Each structure stands twice: as structure tokens, then as C-alpha cells.
Structure 1
């Protein structure tokens, strides 16, 4: 069988495709000050940051990670890709033990930093999205809202990329009941 592997994170065409989200953000909210993007492998955040930096470099694009799995934040602090202790949690769509080494040059250049949030902050953001916006987001997707609520991205217009809704009903029920699963 002939075929071709397209990396879901590090493929240049995938990253460029993700950049169209950044263009849409600027078209819809031209006076945005910051954009917060969940950081899994870095392809989504780097694509968005690349497009925004090209069109409006004054806009800060932040990665967001959860404290139990924040390899980009650790890598930024060390100045090179790092392997970290990883604790599995309900926020399973972002983070991990390490970042992809091939994404480090792009991420460290394009992103304004990593905003790290707690599991409790993410659970609160999931609840807030359901109760106020009627949006069901998984932990990874709601991490951007949790990060925005910390105030670390500034106080001007902020866009939160809510990137996933794959949360099982048992976990969602616990979160809506006030628990941090």
C-alpha cells in the first residue's frame, strides 16, 4: 500500500492550516490584545501565532498548559526542550512528559509564553462555559478560559481558543457537581 504520513502536529501544511484560525481572529476582532491557545503538541498554537505575528505582531499569543503536564513552560524556563514529571488527569488533551523537539524552535520563537493553570481552575472554567455559555468543553479546551481568568494575559480584549469537547459524561457530571476529578 502506498501512502504518506502527515504528522498531526509538526507537518508544515497542518501548522499553516491552523494559522487560518489566527487570520479569522484578527478579521473578527482586530483590536484583540492577546490570544490563549491550549498547548498539546504545539501545532495549533504555533500556526495561530505565526499568522497573527505576521499580520499584527503587537498581539500576544500564549500557550496554556495544566500544572500536572506543562512541558512547554518547563522548556521555556530551561531554554531548551525538557522532559518533566507528568501526572495524568481529566485534562488529557494537552501537555505530556515532553514537547516535540522539532516544535521547540517554532514555539519558543512565536509564542509569548505559557500560562499554567491548576486542575481546579480548569474545572471551574468547564463549569463556567456550561453554565454561562452553554458550551461543553473538555478540560484541554477550557484551559484557555482558565488561563484568561488568571489575568496573566492582560486586561484588554482576549480570545480563548476552546479546542475540544471530548469529555465523558461521568467526568462532566463530577465537574458540574463542584468536584475536581
Structure 2
């Protein structure tokens, strides 16, 4: 099984190919949880995520014959970028198979790092099947995204940095997709300090580890569905599962709503941009998915920041709605001069800001002489929303909250 010595050897191989990323204390998140929250900011890593570590270590261990043949791999995006950059640096030809719905930003970035791209399938597993076919057709070396001990060891160098930079750490929180990241980190952390707790986090729509732990072996699911595309994997690896089973203390899940809120909080409170997988560990921490004590030193890993701008727009809107910062409502008023002005005056008196307004006197479900109005509003939280709705209803306006 993967050892601390393997991770330490990986750090020597990686050298300056991967940055030693910072750990940032968060007053805000510490206040929310009553624990001491330090963010391991791996989104500042080269390529915007941790994958460059494992890819660099694995390519460094290839034989001359394997290097000459080139590598092929499958990835939802971050592993693709890590392999592309690591291979280019080492002078190795790389071909990457990515799901057809992979974020455009990640596809373009992977091409920019020098790899050739094949788009295939609806998710990682279908892309992986195509990559294995290319492995056979072109006699390339298949560089697994997670179920490879050299890859796991490379990712584990994050764990070395956490314990060395923050010796007082009590708990490390790590997202889980295929398990390569948490396997490496748990090996490093437990090897340096067995008393440190390691908590794994999966998205509810791609939760495979809990069932695997119950059954004692990896279990595949038919499909995955989550905004956290970096951990949207149908089955944990066989090698990674062995390490998780032995060295990870607890595995919890978070919803897409909770992930979206964590992305929003990171951006607004810490000025840090994270993708879905990158925010999962913080989401679990903020939502109390595992028990913490006052003053406990907790390090959620922000493992990547490569979020597609279109996804970010959707996520931020979801976060604003969830926190009561954005409201869309529908009401009905008399279709006569001045009534719309009166409605907007009430909104203004309540200090809500109108983003947009739609007035329709032809809606089928209202009476003659009435008009239906939908308003998009900037609000300041759930209490503010409640006061606004009360003010409208007190003036006789029926209110239906749409989002």
C-alpha cells in the first residue's frame, strides 16, 4: 500500500513543477463554525488545480519506452490540464479524452498546454472507456486520473505541506471523486501525525464511497449528477479504496445547493474563486456535516478553481437566491393609472432594488381589469424578504414568490 516514503519521494521528483500553495486563515468561516478554519488554497496551483502534482510524478516514473509511445488519459478537465502541462514539460506526447459536456474553459486550457483533445461520452467513465480503446489502438501508456500509486503519491504532497505549514492541524477535509487525492493526503497526514483526522466529502449526486465502505469493495453507480464535475465519478478506484478504508476517518456528502453556497461564500467572503469540487470540503465544514469542537484547527482543501463562467453565473445566482439576496415575485394589481407606481414605491420604501419588471394585462389566470406583474429584486437577506412581502400583502397585493 502507498506509504509516506512514496509521497516524500514524489515531492523530490515534482520539484518546482508544482507550487507550494498557501494556507489562509478565515476569520469569517471560523466565526461561522466556532472552529479555527484554515483554507489550503490549491486553486492557486499551476493549471488552477492539484492535478499537476500527480501527473508530474507519474510521468517522471515512466520508462523510456513508455515516454516514447506517449500517454493517453481521460479527464473531466483538471487531470487533463495537469497531464497536458506535465507531458509538455517532459517532452512526452499526450492525448486526452474528455466528456462531450466538459467545461469549454477546461477544454481550451488543456489544448493550450499542448495536448490533443478527443471529446467523447457524457461523463468521465465513458471518456475513460474511449481512452482505453486509444491505449490499445495506438499502444500508448494509460495515465490513470486517480487509481495509480504514483499519481496518488503526487497528490499526497499537499498533505506534507499542510502538516509542515500548520503542525497544530486537527482535521483535514478533502473532496473525493475517484479517491486519488484523499488517498495521497491521508497517507501523508497520517504518516506524519496519526492523530490528525481526515474527513472525505462527496457530492450527493456522485456518492459512491459510503456504499463501498459498507460492502467492503468499490461499487459503481449507473450515473452521476452534480455541479461538481471534478468529483463526478461513478466508482472509486480499487487502489484508492484500500487506502480510504484504512486511513480516512469519516466520509460525508453535500448537496449541490450546499456546494453553490460555499462557492458564493468563498468568492464574497474570502475573495477566492473555486469550482464545485474545490468548494465541497468547505461546504461540508460550514454545513456541519462532521462534528467539530470549539477551537479545533480544521483545514478544508480548496482543490481547484477552474469553473466555467457560465456555470459560475448559475451557481452565484443560486447562492444569492439561497441567501435571500435575490428575489423574483409575482403579484396582481388593478389595471389603471398609478397602480404600478404605487407598487414600486412600496418596494422602494422597503429599500429593495428592482433589477427588472414585467407587466402583463393579458395573463389568462387573472380577472378583467387587472394586470399581472413579475419583479426581479435585489434584497439583503431572508428577513428583508419577509418584511418586503409583509409590506406588499398589508397593502392588498397577493404575493407569489417564484425564486
Q: What TM-score do you get using the length of structure 1 for normalisation?
A: 0.91
Q: What is residue 93 of structure 2 aligned with on the other side?
A: none
Segment drifting more, 36-45 vs 88-97:
88-97
Quote the Cα distance in structure 1 between the aligned partners of 2:221 and 2:142: 28
CA offsets per residue over residues 47-84 of structure 1, 9 Å max, x none? 01001111101101111101111101221233321123
Count residues in correspondence.
Answer: 180
Query: What secondary structure does 1:97 align onto?
Result: coil
Higher relative contact order (CA 8 A, sep 6+): 1
Quote the Cα distance in structure 2 between the aligned partners of 1:98 and 1:179: 33
**1:125 Cα deviation after fit:** 0.2
The yes-or-no answer on 1:73 pairing with 2:213 is no
Q: What is residue 261 of structure 2 aligned with on the other side?
A: 124
Q: What is residue 198 of structure 2 aligned with on the other side?
A: 61
Q: What is residue 29 of structure 1 aligned with on the other side?
A: 166
> Does the CA-based 8 Å contact 1:71-1:95 persist in structure 2?
no
Q: What is residue 154 of structure 1 aligned with on the other side?
A: 292
Segment drifting more, 32-41 vs 101-110:
101-110
Quote the Cα distance in structure 1 between the aligned partners of 2:235 and 2:143: 21
**Would the alpha carbon gap of residues 153 and 162 (structure 1) be closer, same or farther in structure 2, given more than 3 Å must change?**
farther
Q: What is residue 143 of structure 2 aligned with on the other side?
A: 6
The yes-or-no answer on 1:137 pairing with 2:204 is no
**1:176 Cα deviation after fit:** 1.6
CA offsets per residue over residues 14-38 of structure 1, 9 Å max, x none? 2122221111101111111111111
2:246 corresponds, among 109, 122, 135, to 109
**Would the alpha carbon gap of residues 111 and 96 (structure 1) be closer, same or farther in structure 2, given more than 3 Å must change?**
same
Query: What secondary structure does 2:177 align onto?
Result: coil
RMSD over aligned CA atoms reads 1.8
Q: What TM-score do you get using the length of structure 2 for normalisation?
A: 0.42
Q: What is residue 38 of structure 1 aligned with on the other side?
A: 175
**1:85 Cα deviation after fit:** 4.6
**Would the alpha carbon gap of residues 52 and 153 (structure 1) be closer, same or farther in structure 2, given more than 3 Å must change?**
farther
**1:172 Cα deviation after fit:** 1.0
Q: Mark the runs of 5 or more structure 1 residues left unpaired by the alignment.
A: none
**1:94 Cα deviation after fit:** 0.5
> Does the CA-based 8 Å contact 1:62-1:153 persist in structure 2?
no
Query: What secondary structure does 1:68 align onto?
Result: helix
Quote the Cα distance in structure 2 between the aligned partners of 1:39 and 1:129: 19
2:316 corresponds, among 161, 176, 180, to 176
Query: What secondary structure does 2:303 align onto?
Result: coil
Query: What secondary structure does 1:93 align onto?
Result: helix
Quote the Cα distance in structure 1 between the aligned partners of 2:146 and 2:213: 19
**Would the alpha carbon gap of residues 95 and 113 (structure 1) be closer, same or farther in structure 2, given more than 3 Å must change?**
farther
Segment drifting more, 160-169 vs 1-10:
1-10
**1:101 Cα deviation after fit:** 2.4
Q: Higher strand fraction: Structure 1 or Structure 2?
A: 2
> Does the CA-based 8 Å contact 2:152-2:181 persist in structure 1?
yes
